[in-house]
Structure 1
Amino acid sequence: MCLTVRCGGDAPHGTVNRVIDTAQPPETHDLPPAPLPLPRGGTGARRGPLALLRRSPVRDRLGRRLLATFVVAALAVPVTGAARPEAVPAPVPPPLPPLRAATTASLAERYAATRGAVEAAMRTAAAAGHRWRAAMLRAMAGPTRHFLSFDGRDGGRAAEVFGDLAAADRIAVIVPGSGTGLDTYGLLRGGSMRLQRALGPRGAVVAWLGYRTPSTVSLQAMTPGRADEAVPALRAFVRDLARLRPAARISLVCHSYGGVVCGRAAPGLDVADIVLCGSPGAGVDDAAAMRTRAAVWAARGTGDWVGHLPHAALRLPFGTIGLGEDPVDPRFGARIFAAGDGGHSDYLKAGSPALANIARIVSGHAPAEVSRVS
């Protein structure tokens, strides 16, 4: 998920959500961050920051923005010293020649080259004693896995293809949110596989882990800084994909903090749809500010804890605090579709109304049902 204040750009990022289809510690991604203590001082009963937001008598728009920003700042202070996992060493991947055509033969050559990079990273992780990362990379190096790009450094970057990209006429690019990395990649992979199955044989999905995601509970998750760092890479990837498959319909499916990435990158993206799922904001004031010809969609499950977060942004001389307006607020201007009663990680869950509606949108159809989110 995500809210965000940018601190040192060189800080390694952490991981907290689980790996689907792989044994791992208990789920934390669907739970809101644990309550954090407010600074000591003052008199009277202490109330949580969200309760303050809900009970505030301030009604005007500016007042709500300032109060939400205060809550964000109060939450940010206690986590500045949060422990982060050590970076796992990985070799510099060899340069890849430009992919000049999305043919079966050329894609097979690219997949073989990236498999070699995954295997090299696996050996390095194993030699350094990082058994969990080595096991994850061993699975990624399997003969049925297809990566357009891979870099094991700094938490990992990857673009994995599900389906036949050479024959696809509809392509979904999934942009994940905070806490996503090679150690927690199973959640992204599982959702990508389910969406591809829902799209059918003429559909392909690319899981785009192309940026350094912030930790779920971190200062970076409270500002658009990491999203801004991701913008050039996402624009370049979509541009190359459109060049390779000019007749295909390309859509972005942006989960959680990934919605901030898509919102900030939107003016430079030639896509049919931008779908914001469980996003705490899009890094902009409204859909019009995204300056895109794409249809902007938004959804949030009734069980998603993101709905309880403050939605605002305060622009300061050193940067922006907060992630902007709520994408499912009618004032934002997105097209709202039903996501059911799922939690924060359930938008691509098998059998969910969210998955069915996202597949329809990516295929160029209207969602089966719309929703009014309070």
Structure 2
Amino acid sequence: MGEQVSDGGRKTAKKAAPATEAAPAEKATAKKAAPAKKAAPATKEAAKKAAPAKKAAAKKSAAGAKAPAAKKAVAKKPAAKKAPAKSSAPLKKAPAPKKQVVAPKKATASVPAAPAKTVAAHPQGESRTALVRRARRINRELAEVYPYAHPELDFENPFQLLVATVLSAQTTDLRVNQTTPALFAKYPTPEDLAAANPEEVEEILRPTGFFRAKTKSVIGLSKALVEQFGGEVPDRLEDLVKLPGVGRKTAFVVLGNAFGRPGITVDTHFQRLVRRWKWTDETDPDKIEAAVGALFPKSEWTDLSHHVIWHGRRICHARKPACGACPIAHLCPSYGEGETDPEKAKKLLKYEKAGQPGQRLKPPQAYLDAGGKPAPPLGAG
């Protein structure tokens, strides 16, 4: 029984042997399958090789994704360039300061240069050339209106003109002309007035106002003429301004009208009008003189002073100018400060006759008579 079993086992073993022999087939199959497993490394290698491709594709896709951003960045760059454009916008408005660039450098001439703001505010940015042309045209037209313009103080020699001009401060020329005949009749020369009794002189000068101060000035300048200039009125500005009571305004009146030497007389009328006409914005008389003098030839200074002063006394008044009756209204940047209605403006025209200071005339134009001719000068009968 045991042998059989063993035999059977052997037989079984023998029969199983083919099964074991089949193992090589399985191994072969496994070997065949093994290459499939080995193909996995190949797949890994392919994956490795594909990885760079994927990375490249990812980079390309990333680059493609960033490309719009880059375009946006590029698109923003012009915006950065526009920023200077915005900053350059004020540069287009920069010409505005030209008002100050043109104005300051204008008041230069043979006379002392006025400060930079001499012509700092011209009407509507008026240029230097335009200002000069307008100023000279005003003077020409005033010369046609007042061809007889002259100093409105009565005098026969430089000494009388000097004394009369000193007395004209804070009063009218008419009042001075009513006072000086008695003064010069009693004291005809500098020597006579230098030796005069102050109380007697004060009594004569009382109607002119500030008579004590004026008495001191006329007696003092008479003594200076006798002691320093041999009783003669000097014909130089630097000498005249050294005399008591004599400033540049008085000196130029004497130089221009007694000696024929050009000068600008900056009195209250002159100051008012040249500022209204925008010839200058200065308020100091000496600076006004320099600024206005730079606009005209020196030869015209004396007559210019007469034209301006005459116009200020008759039409362009301080409180209420007669704009509606002004012959140079078309050239005046301040037109409208006074009465513009022609009929009402005519009533404001002022003309003084001897013995009637401040009389207002009814005729259409105070500077023309009924026949359309120039009226007689101020102070005439």
Quickly name the TM-score band, shorter chain normalised: under 0.3
Structure of larger gyration radius: 2
- TM-score norm. by structure 2 comes to 0.21
- TM-score norm. by structure 1 comes to 0.21
RCO greater where, 1 or 2, for CA within 8 Å and sep 6 or more? Answer: 1
Of Structure 1 and Structure 2, which has the larger fraction of its residues in strand?
1
Of Structure 1 and Structure 2, which has the larger fraction of its residues in helix?
2
